[in-house]
Amino acid sequence: MVHTPAHSGIGGALTYESDAVHVPGTLVRVPLGKRELLGIVWDATDAGQVAPPENTPPDEQATLQLRPISSVLEGIAPLNAHWRQLVQFAASYYQRSAGEVALAALPSQLRDLTPEQWDRRLKRKPKATSPYESTAPHIPTATDEQAQALADIAANTGPFLLYGNTGSGKTEVYLRAAQSVLEQDATAQILVMVPEINLTPQLEERFRARFCPQWGTDCLVAMHSSLTPAQRLKNWLAAHSGEARIVLGTRMAVFASMPHLQLIVVDEEHDPSYKQQEGARYSARDLAVYRGQLEGAKVILGSATPSLESWHHSRPATDTQSAGRYKRLAMPSRVGQGALPLVRRVDMNRQPYKTVFSNHLLDAMRERVTRGEQILVLLNRRGYAPVLSCHDCGWKSECPHCSAYRVFHKLDRTLRCHHCGFTQPVPRACPSCGNLDISPLGRGTEQLEEHLAELLADVRRPDGEPIRIARIDADSTRLKGELERQLAEVHAGAVDVLVGTQMIAKGHDFRRVTLVAALNPDGALFSSDFRAPERLFSLLMQAAGRAGRDASMQTTSPCEMWVQSFHPLHPLFEALKQHDYPAFAEQQLKEREQATLPPFSFQALVRAEARSQEAAQGFLNAARDVGAALADELLVDLYPAVPMTIQRVANIERAQMLIECTSRKALQHFLAHWQGDLHGLRSAHKQVIRWAVDVDPLAI
Ligand SMILES: [Zn+2]
Ligand SMILES: [Zn+2]
């Protein structure tokens, strides 16, 4: 046979000639125009096959002559059918081309090495690795809760939601579940995912200490974006060949080629970092669940504050539709660590206007620093869309048509609902009490670090030295290695007060922290984004978990978490005070159900960028018109276009449009058909620079 098989991009198959038959999944080099590219032989029966590279325009594809495959990448087994199906599913679900998804998932060196370099790479003898130097691992006795969770994992197919308090020992459950998989099958492979690169070294070390003495140094490889291209290729090949038994990585690792995959762990499954924010905007958590089903691998999603989607799926099956999909495993106790901190709320209504730190909090901080204890000050500066509020009567810019708050758009001074599009000019005074002082919620902490230094200037550490305050956020850690250096200083006790954003709340083990303060959490209570309270709760719970990790630090007084709020009696803070995630989740899910928001409906966003807002919105509204009839038929709601919260970036105007439906299937059906119309419309809207669909967006 000649000219088999086909390769394709979004617009249709790219077909190449070949003298030999290549099985699907074979990696090949193919010519496209004047370039030579990496391609994957795709299943010829399928309509949407894989392509050389991203976004080859359909017209370029159409004019292609039938050309021969340049060469085959020798020495690599074909990517298996499960892997190809995972890619195919991800591409169609997230509305991208299979070629883009597939090639982004492969290490860049497969693409970049010339045939000669590739030959040399293959001939290179693997370096003899030194044996892992360690004594037999210390394995703690499993608690009753851990033993019960492990028994449930062994006896059921899952997927499992491992709901374990901070400090309940979820990692020990992962380790033991992995251990039994490795022992039962000499080829079995395990994928462990963490939300952020910063968190990989800690977890990697625990896995190495447990498994390398028995299975060798090469049994585990890492996969994340800070590896060099050569390391990434090496690790990818180790996973692909089955030699690496454990792959530990960030969201990109969900696409690792692992022929004998039997267990997938998604740690901190609620973390928004699992959602890719450009290109194919996939959720690595959701794909992990799909991949588990596809390959018959067990999936464990772990969290102390699960996403409301996962919590909902793990409700008893009788509750509502789509509940009962996951098996919930609960581990409420903290192992070998201090009690959870006492939550103290400060009513900011009783503080002088524009107070940043209440006096009570400052006193508590002084006392602890004097005793040599550490403090975390948490700023909630995650770019929440600004909601206007009246300081006098508490009025907020609610949408009269939705259970959402309207967003303040500074450029044209409007209030817009990001749900239904309802727009009004900003009122001159509070519509409820006439006060002229209405302003965005939750601001005013920009110069906080300097301010704090002044307020605490007279405080001395136990050694008589002045207090040391440090800040960790995206700005202070831009340089490579800077975050690690700053964290090491905190661990060494060189810092007394650490000020930072959500970066400091995650996973770090600060032994001497006994007080955590959250300064301005209110913005998330009244946000245009219905997920903001969920994120805030999870952030505060996580931050609270930073305090009192070392039981010996609690001899003087119990650990505390302080929350300063204008709404101290809000149900979110009530639940926080009790450390009661289930109560918080039930209350939130009730609200979501009443408003038919996810997980009770499904959403997609189309975003467009253009030189003018008019052009961006014009494209989206035209797309809405084109899709209207099909949307009606499928009961899909298409809302009018609105400017994005950050409306203009580098002189490019950005707009978005929300699509909503109570059926995931109907929404998918609609998007698949509508996609073609959008491509078609583009030529009539030449001012549009780019557009993209975001399925299951995490922020509207
Ligand atoms: Zn008012
Ligand atoms: Zn609205």
Q: Please report which confidence band the pLDDT of residue 555 belongs to, taking 50, 70 and 90 as the band edges.
A: low
Instruction: Report in angstroms the alpha-carbon separations of 298 from 160, 191, 269, 276, 534.
Output: 8, 10, 15, 23, 27
Could you tell me the distance, in angstroms and rounded to a whole number, from the CA of residue 422 to the centre of ligand 2? 6
Least confident of 132-146, 148-162, 546-560: 546-560
**DSSP label at residue 277:** -
Mean pLDDT (whole number) for 48-56:
44
Instruction: Report in angstroms the alpha-carbon separations of 129 from 245, 322, 356, 398.
Output: 16, 48, 55, 62
| Residue 8: partners with Cβ closer than 8 Å, 6 or more residues away | 14, 42, 48, 49, 50, 51, 61, 98, 99
Q: How far apart are CA 576 and CA 322, in angstroms?
A: 27
Could you tell me the distance, in angstroms and rounded to a whole number, from the CA of residue 451 to the centre of ligand 1? 29
Could you tell me the distance, in angstroms and rounded to a whole number, from the CA of residue 447 to the centre of ligand 1? 27
Question: Is the predicted pLDDT of residue 620 greater than 80, yes or no?
Answer: yes
Q: Decide which of 17 and 522 is more confident.
A: 522
Whether cis (ω within 30° of 0) applies to the bond prior to 599 is yes
Question: Is the predicted pLDDT of residue 255 greater than 80, yes or no?
Answer: yes
Could you tell me the distance, in angstroms and rounded to a whole number, from the CA of residue 639 to the centre of ligand 2? 10
Query: What is the structure's pLDDT at 132?
Result: 67
Q: Which ligand is nearest to the CA of 391?
A: 1
Q: How far apart are CA 33 and CA 42, in angstroms?
A: 20
**DSSP label at residue 275:** B
Could you tell me the distance, in angstroms and rounded to a whole number, from the CA of residue 408 to the centre of ligand 2? 13
Residue 396, both tokens: 């907020």
Question: Is the predicted pLDDT of residue 21 greater than 80, yes or no?
Answer: no
Could you tell me the distance, in angstroms and rounded to a whole number, from the CA of residue 577 to the centre of ligand 1? 29
Could you tell me the distance, in angstroms and rounded to a whole number, from the CA of residue 425 to the centre of ligand 1? 17
Q: How far apart are CA 559 and CA 555, in angstroms?
A: 10
Query: What is the structure's pLDDT at 65?
Result: 56
Mean pLDDT (whole number) for 412-432:
88
Q: Which ligand is nearest to the CA of 419?
A: 2
Question: Cα 273 from chain centroid?
Answer: 2
* Tens-place pLDDT, residues 58-74: 444 444 456 788 888 88
Q: Please report which confidence band the pLDDT of residue 188 belongs to, taking 50, 70 and 90 as the band edges.
A: very high
Q: Please report which confidence band the pLDDT of residue 649 belongs to, taking 50, 70 and 90 as the band edges.
A: confident
Residue pointed to by tokens 């038959």 = 21
Residue 18, both tokens: 């070949």
Q: Note the maximum CA span of the chain.
A: 85
**Residue among 496, 585, 576, 586 nearest 542 (CA):** 576
Question: Is the predicted pLDDT of residue 5 greater than 50, yes or no?
Answer: no
Q: Decide which of 415 and 447 is more confident.
A: 415
Angle, alpha carbons 172-174-178 (nearest 5°): 115
Query: What is the structure's pLDDT at 630?
Result: 95
Could you tell me the distance, in angstroms and rounded to a whole number, from the CA of residue 591 to the centre of ligand 2? 16
| Residue 107: partners with Cβ closer than 8 Å, 6 or more residues away | 229, 232, 233, 236
**Residue among 408, 484, 488 nearest 440 (CA):** 408
Cα dihedral 168, 169, 170, 176, rounded to 10, equals -150
Could you tell me the distance, in angstroms and rounded to a whole number, from the CA of residue 201 to the centre of ligand 2? 44
The environment of the single-atom ion ligand 1, i.e. residues with CB closer than 5 A, is 390, 392-393, 395, 430, 432-433, 435
Question: Is the predicted pLDDT of residue 553 greater than 70, yes or no?
Answer: no
* Tens-place pLDDT, residues 656-692: 999 999 999 999 999 999 998 998 888 888 889 999 9
Question: Is the predicted pLDDT of residue 176 greater than 90, yes or no?
Answer: yes
Query: What is the structure's pLDDT at 129?
Result: 64
Q: Which ligand is nearest to the CA of 390?
A: 1
Q: Please report which confidence band the pLDDT of residue 10 belongs to, taking 50, 70 and 90 as the band edges.
A: very low
| pLDDT over 70 percentage in the chain | 88
Query: What is the structure's pLDDT at 439?
Result: 83
Mean pLDDT (whole number) for 16-28:
82
Could you tell me the distance, in angstroms and rounded to a whole number, from the CA of residue 392 to the centre of ligand 1? 5
Q: Which ligand is nearest to the CA of 393?
A: 1
Query: What is the structure's pLDDT at 85?
Result: 95
Query: What is the structure's pLDDT at 627?
Result: 94
Could you tell me the distance, in angstroms and rounded to a whole number, from the CA of residue 532 to the centre of ligand 2? 17
Could you tell me the distance, in angstroms and rounded to a whole number, from the CA of residue 437 to the centre of ligand 1? 8
Could you tell me the distance, in angstroms and rounded to a whole number, from the CA of residue 56 to the centre of ligand 2? 38
Residue pointed to by tokens 């002084």 = 366
The string of DSSP letters for 599-646 reads TSSEEEEEEEEESSHHHHHHHHHHHHHHHHHHHHHHT-EEPPPEEEEE
Query: What is the structure's pLDDT at 234?
Result: 93
Q: Please report which confidence band the pLDDT of residue 196 belongs to, taking 50, 70 and 90 as the band edges.
A: confident
Residue 300: strand pairing partners: 160, 265
Residue 342, both tokens: 């006492």
Query: What is the structure's pLDDT at 37?
Result: 83
Residue 14: strand pairing partners: 7
Could you tell me the distance, in angstroms and rounded to a whole number, from the CA of residue 387 to the centre of ligand 1? 14
Could you tell me the distance, in angstroms and rounded to a whole number, from the CA of residue 428 to the centre of ligand 1? 11
Query: What is the structure's pLDDT at 570?
Result: 94
Q: How far apart are CA 266 and CA 361, in angstroms?
A: 37
Query: What is the structure's pLDDT at 275?
Result: 96
Q: Are 247 and 263 in contact (CB under 8 A)?
A: no
Q: Which ligand is nearest to the CA of 396?
A: 1
Q: How far apart are the first and last CA of the chain?
A: 51
Query: What is the structure's pLDDT at 131?
Result: 63
The environment of the single-atom ion ligand 2, i.e. residues with CB closer than 5 A, is 399, 401-402, 417, 419-420, 422
Query: What is the structure's pLDDT at 16?
Result: 75
Could you tell me the distance, in angstroms and rounded to a whole number, from the CA of residue 374 to the centre of ligand 2? 44
Q: Are 310 and 269 in contact (CB under 8 A)?
A: yes
Query: What is the structure's pLDDT at 182?
Result: 96
Question: Is the predicted pLDDT of residue 320 greater than 70, yes or no?
Answer: no
Cα dihedral 194, 196, 200, 203, rounded to 10, equals -50
Q: Please report which confidence band the pLDDT of residue 53 belongs to, taking 50, 70 and 90 as the band edges.
A: very low
Query: What is the structure's pLDDT at 354?
Result: 76
Could you tell me the distance, in angstroms and rounded to a whole number, from the CA of residue 425 to the centre of ligand 2? 15
Mean pLDDT over all residues of the chain?
85
Mean pLDDT (whole number) for 612-632:
95
Q: Are 87 and 255 in contact (CB under 8 A)?
A: yes
Least confident of 11-25, 57-71, 107-121: 57-71
Within 13 Å and on the Cβ side, how many CA atoms surround 697? 20
Within 13 Å and on the Cβ side, how many CA atoms surround 413? 6
Angle, alpha carbons 521-193-260 (nearest 5°): 160
Helix residue ranges per DSSP H, 408-460: 448-455
Q: Is 462 exposed, middle or buried, given 0-12, 13-18 or 19+ CB atoms closer than 10 A? A: exposed
Q: Are 284 and 90 in contact (CB under 8 A)?
A: no
Question: Is the predicted pLDDT of residue 445 greater than 60, yes or no?
Answer: no
> Kind of pairing, strands 27-32 and 414-416?
unpaired
Q: How far apart are CA 643 and CA 655, in angstroms?
A: 4
Q: How far apart are CA 113 and CA 110, in angstroms?
A: 6
Could you tell me the distance, in angstroms and rounded to a whole number, from the CA of residue 658 to the centre of ligand 2? 11
Q: Which ligand is nearest to the CA of 389?
A: 1
Mean pLDDT (whole number) for 510-536:
87
Could you tell me the distance, in angstroms and rounded to a whole number, from the CA of residue 398 to the centre of ligand 2? 8
E strand segments, 450-559: 469-472, 497-500, 513-518
